[in-house]
Structure 1
Amino acid sequence: MTPDVFLSVRDLHVRFRTEDGIVKAVDGLSFDLERGRTLGIVGESGSGKSVTNLTVLGLHDPRSTEVRGEILLDGQELTGAAESTLEKLRGHKMAMIFQDSLTALSPYYTVGRQIAEPFRKHTGASRRDARLRAIEMLEKVGIPNPALRVDDYPHQFSGGMRQRAMIAMALVCDPELLIADEPTTALDVTVQAQILDLLKELQQQTGSAIILITHDLGVVANTVDDLLVMYAGRAVERGPVREVLRSPQHPYTWGLLGSMPRLNSDVAEPLNPIPGAPPSLLAPPPGCPFHPRCGYPETVGGDRCRTERPGLPEGRGAACHLTPEQQRTIFAEQIKPRLG
């Protein structure tokens, strides 16, 4: 772990015991995140994005979850750490903006109290100072009349306002690691821009590391430094965001980009969705997990895609059996013309 790396995840495996069997939610994931940088994680629902980051915060039920691998936060091992240790870190050194604000906020307490609570716990602030901090954070995330709305309950907020309150709660202690799980869900375009600018401002002020989980590749393009593409609990491509979006190497990444509507395309032109559906993580396919939906196993030749798991190289690269020359040729001749 180099001095600049704040979060290091190595060979992470997360499995859930269910009545139907063992769900392999994360299967051998590794990545690093440096201070002051933003990592984007993209992929379809069920690819393991949120599970990975909930594991970093230690929020899975240990009675039904098996976690293997190494998670180092500023050099401190989190895998197997005591709950008391994780409680001291959560909300202070690391925090998460949850995707579903309706279930993440308690209906029994005012919004202001829920924002102020972690601030009091981690800083020892008085009730008055914590309340003022809650009002300040509500104003920062664009809640009108924050001094009045601080005493409202979650049901008195609209969906977008609840999402902004969740963001205020995550940012109240200026965490060094911020995990944002679809932070702009249910927000209109202007508020989305405001929230993303707020995250950048926090990063510039504190040098925090940010993980942004999203389905919106447009948001990723202008917000993150590095990109990790996940499929079936594994990382299939990674690298600097502009390189990944301009010259993607994995067929799954090609499919994600091809599924996006484009302003310069004909309105009558159909989208190009990825065929099939993500695999069941109760019984993921052998070899490359994407091969049942991929159009290039015959290009690779033999049964490699069906029997041999491709490795993900360090740095820029993709977990694919296509050679770099084949990737460049297919992208230039078949994929790029469709993307425009």
Structure 2
Amino acid sequence: MTVPHQTPANAGTFLSVRDLYVRFATEDGIVRAVDGLSFALERGRTLGIVGESGSGKSVASLAVLGLHDRRSTDVRGEILLDGQELTTAAESTLEKLRGNRMAMVFQDSLTALSPYCTVGRQIAEPYRKHTGASRREARQRAVEMLRKVGIPQAALRVDDYPHQFSGGMRQRAMIAMALVCDPELLIADEPTTALDVTVQAQILDLLKDLQQQTGSAIVLITHDLGVVANTADDLLVMYAGRAVERGTVREVLRSPQHPYTWGLLGSMPRLSSDVAEPLTPIPGAPPSLLAPPPGCPFHPRCAYPQEVGGERCATERPVLPPGRGAACHLPPDRARTLFAERPGTRRDRGVDGS
């Protein structure tokens, strides 16, 4: 496994999320999209957030940037960016922070980019707003950023519209727009979607370079555990709007404690696996966030409630301990034993084969 980079000397908790709740009112009821999420991120470190679609990863990230419509969304809890409270901050305050101190690479580049403006203008606009640069300087900066993310003939393509870019090129342009002001906090929501493996490596290297140069904090949302293993320092596993496991990447991927994390690892192919060895999918489907199950939200899909005894999994909500741990009623020692006994589990079970 790749050794995480060294944390710079000015390290400290830069982003703190405590007891975050995000709820949407719908005709069918209240959607509990994020249900009591807490995590912290230091400068110079990368936090990977993984989980199935609908687990609340993107919704929580949008809440950090204050991008939810306050008229229809109930956001509660505490979000601190370098000690500054964001949950109750005025929109004018958030506008000064977005694109400057914090930025986001959105998952869907087709809807995130405006079809009415050239790609270069969309990259240059936040740079001019936050730095006071001239039009010429901002245009030069846009061309520079397009080159950095691998757009060929950047000086010519800067005047193209999004529909003139391929899906992968739009994704790279959106990354350029997020990085143009060298943000201190970057939230990357599936940043390598629609990119081939060589461009993926280039983009991930670009994020690492930004972090080494500026000491920025990065939140990496992805379904690719291989990307997490080689890019992130810490890992947060989400399920049904809650954090169910956290720790360093090495701790979580080599010795996971939550059955849901086991399922994510078991459903991923590995080069070291026997070609005849089938993948082990997670049975069932994620719960409805309109009416999540009581107790542990994963218990209807879990194969181990009998290990706890009685109806505890169905009635008592497990608590995620501070630091390394899992929100599971299984004792950590028993969890390690059960994971080692799972079919397909190898001694070299690291995602990258380490």
Q: Which residue is equivalent to 1:46?
A: 54
Residue 124 of structure 1 deviates from its aligned partner by 0.6
What aligned pairs does 1:5-154 form with structure 2 within 5 A after superposition?
5-154=13-162
Partner of residue 196, structure 1: 204
Helix, strand or coil: the match of 1:337? coil
Residue 101 of structure 1 deviates from its aligned partner by 0.3
Task: Give, as a single letter, the amino acid of the residue that structure 1 aligns with 2:299.
Answer: H
Gap runs ≥5 in structure 2: 1-9, 350-354
Report the aligned-residue RMSD.
1.3
Which amino acid in 2 is paired with 1:262? R
Runs of 4+ with >4 A deviation: none
CA contact (8 A) 2:19 2:77 kept: yes
Task: Write out per-residue CA displacement over residues 273-296 of structure 1, whole angstroms, 9 at most, x where no aligned residue.
Answer: 000000000000000000000000
Alignment correspondent of 2:235: 227
Residue number among 1, 8, 12 corresponding to 1:4 in the alignment: 12
Asked if the contact 1:254–1:335 (Cα under 8 Å) also holds between the matched residues in 2, the reply is no
Closer/same/farther in 2, CA of residues 112 and 290 from structure 1, 3 Å limit: same
TM-score with structure 1 setting the length:
0.98
Q: Is structure 2 residue 245 aligned with structure 1 residue 237?
A: yes
Q: How does the TM-score come out when normalised to structure 2? A: 0.94
Q: Count residues with an aligned counterpart.
A: 339
Q: Does structure 1 conserve the Cα–Cα contact (< 8 Å) formed by 2:11 and 2:43?
A: no
The 2-side partners of 1:46 and 1:220 are apart by 19
Q: Deviations over 1:14-52 (max 9, x none)?
A: 100011110000000000000000000000000000000
Amino acid at match of 2:52: E
Sequence identity of aligned pairs in percent?
86
Question: Aligned to 2:345, what secondary structure does the other structure show?
Answer: helix
Residue 281 of structure 1 corresponds to which residue in structure 2? 289
Pick aligned residue for 2:330 from 317, 322, 330: 322
**1:139–1:3 CA distance, 2 compared to 1 (3 A):** closer
Query: 1:311 Cα shift?
Result: 0.3
Secondary structure of 2:238's partner?
A: strand
Q: Quick check: 1:209 aligned with 2:217?
A: yes
Residue 325 of structure 1, CA deviation: 2.0
**Structure 1 residues 309 and 335: CA distance shift in structure 2, 3 A:** farther
One-letter amino acid matched to 1:185: T
SS at match of 2:335: helix
Number of the residue aligned with 2:179: 171
